Amino acid sequence: MEKVRIGIIGTGWVAQVFHLPVYAKLPEASVVCLCDRDKSRVRAVAEKFGIKKFYTDYQEMLAAEELDAVDICTTTSAHREVAVACLEAKKDIFVEKPVARQYAEAVAVAEAAKKSKRKVMIGMNTRFRPDTMILRSFIESGDLGKVFYLKAGWLKKLIDELVWMKYKDKSGGGVFLDLGIVMLDLALWMTGFPEVQRVSTANYSQKTNGVEDSSAVFLSMKNGTTITIEVSWNFYIEQELFYCNVYGDKGSAKINPLRIHKEMHGSIVNVTPGTNDDASNLFRRSYENELKHFLGAVRDIHPVISTVDEAVQRMKIVDAIYKSAERKKEIYFK
């Protein structure tokens, strides 16, 4: 396969700011068509990126085009329907996070993937940041010892282009399905995907109706690890805050900026590898690394990272997180 022929469904903010610019720089990628229900927008985006073909009906696109893969950047409410249709058309797919609004929708995508025997990758670009990859390598090598506590958070304003996330029918939830699911995935990935024992959640709606704009989550894992996650669109802070702090019995670490410390000969030593990436560059590179990985998986160079099966298990936890907030009680996993 010389170039991966890609169709993109959904031409909103994430497609325009990240996906399309990244594909334009990758020699192995060829975006041959776009699709969006908004005809004026898809036409404008196609013209901007020099893409000759565009559609307003994804079924028409799938029937007309010879594609190797489809990149799905629609609102979350359309993920299940569009993903299943693409899989039935025998296309490998990339689905921006989250995979779906609820666990049941995620299961439907996973079942379609199994039936079609096609590759599915879910967008979790935080795994592909250079600093998180370095930190995970330190954890996997045992440099921090046994990780017993991880705390992660993301506090930022909701950008205007994503206001649809305030509507539960389109998003499935509020800030947790926007930012929290990313931090949940990062925490699980960092700690080797331990099984959840119980979860407790407090959600707040200060400036939203129907969905939460702040969320605090406490997870106890069966291996003894504790994870806390805080996310908000509504904290009064000077600038965006994105963090992940990891504590082990031999050392500790954090990202943004990356710092790794461990005990050596009775002293605390900074063992952070040299890096000069700033936060914005790390974020941009995460999308470049992620989409390049997807193309490599389509070309059978390596297996998919961030699989649909992982996404199904993640959504099972997300459902429990929302259930805990609604019932105002701790939820136990069997």
Q: Do 190 and 328 fall within a single domain? A: yes
Categorize the per-residue pLDDT at 334 as very low, low, confident or very high, splitting at 50, 70 and 90: confident
- Mean pLDDT calculated for residue range 211-216: 97
Instruction: Choose the weakest-confidence range: 95-99, 266-270, 322-326.
Output: 266-270
Please state, rounded to an integer, the average pLDDT across all residues of the chain.
Answer: 96
Domain count, the chain: 2
Question: Cα separation of 229 and 216, whole Å?
Answer: 6
Q: Based on the fold, state whether residues 132 and 242 are members of the same structural domain.
A: yes
Q: What is the pLDDT of residues 259-289, one digit of tens each?
A: 999 988 889 999 999 876 777 889 999 999 9
- CA-nearest of 125, 124, 142 to 253 is 142
Q: Are residues 86 and 141 in the same domain?
A: no
> Tokens for 222?
């069966």
What pLDDT sits at residue 276? 67
* Residues 160 and 268 reside in one and the same domain: yes
Q: Cβ neighbours of residue 217 under 8 Å, at least 6 residues apart?
A: 176, 180, 184, 199, 200, 201, 228, 229, 230, 321
Q: Are residues 201 and 322 in the same domain?
A: yes
Residue 26 burial by Cβ neighbours in a 10 Å radius (0-12, 13-18, 19+): middle
Spatial strand order in the sheet of 4-9: 53-55, 29-35, 4-9, 69-72, 92-95, 120-122
Per-residue pLDDT at 1 exceeds 70? no
Same domain, 171 and 225: yes
Q: What is the pTM of this model?
A: 0.95
57 plus 117 within the same structural domain:
yes
Over range 28-39, report the average pLDDT: 98
DSSP 62-89: HHH---SEEEE-S-GGGHHHHHHHHHHT
Tell me: do 71 and 101 sit in the same domain.
Answer: yes
- In the three-class reduction of DSSP (H, G, I as helix; E, B as strand; rest coil), residue 144 is classed as coil
Average pLDDT of the segment spanning 289-315: 98
Q: Give pLDDT, residue 279.
A: 76
* pLDDT for res 43: 98
What is the CATH classification number for the domain harbouring 57?
A: 3.40.50.720
Tell me which DSSP letter residue 290 carries.
Answer: H
Residues 59 and 195 in one domain: no
Q: Is the pLDDT of residue 302 over 80?
A: yes
Q: Specify the CATH number for the domain of residue 259.
A: 3.30.360.10
Q: Identify whether residues 243 and 119 lie together within a single domain.
A: no
Question: Which of 13, 6, 22 is CA-nearest to residue 86?
Answer: 6
Q: How many CB atoms lie within 10 A of CB 237?
A: 10
Are residue 93 and residue 35 in the same domain, yes or no? yes
132-160, pLDDT tens digit by residue? 999 999 999 999 999 999 999 999 999 88
- Give the pLDDT confidence score for residue 260 in this predicted structure: 97
Predicted pLDDT at 104: 98
Cβ(4)–Cβ(27) under 8 Å?
no
Within this chain, do residues 8 and 151 fall inside the same structural domain, yes or no?
no
266 or 80, which is more confident: 80
Q: Residue 238's pLDDT band (boundaries 50, 70, 90)?
A: confident
What pLDDT sits at residue 3? 95
**What is the average per-residue pLDDT within 306-330?**
98
The one-letter amino acid code at 287 reads: Y
Range of the domain at 23: 4-125+288-304
What tens digit of pLDDT does each residue of 40-54 get?
Answer: 999 999 999 999 999
CA distance 274 to 251: 18
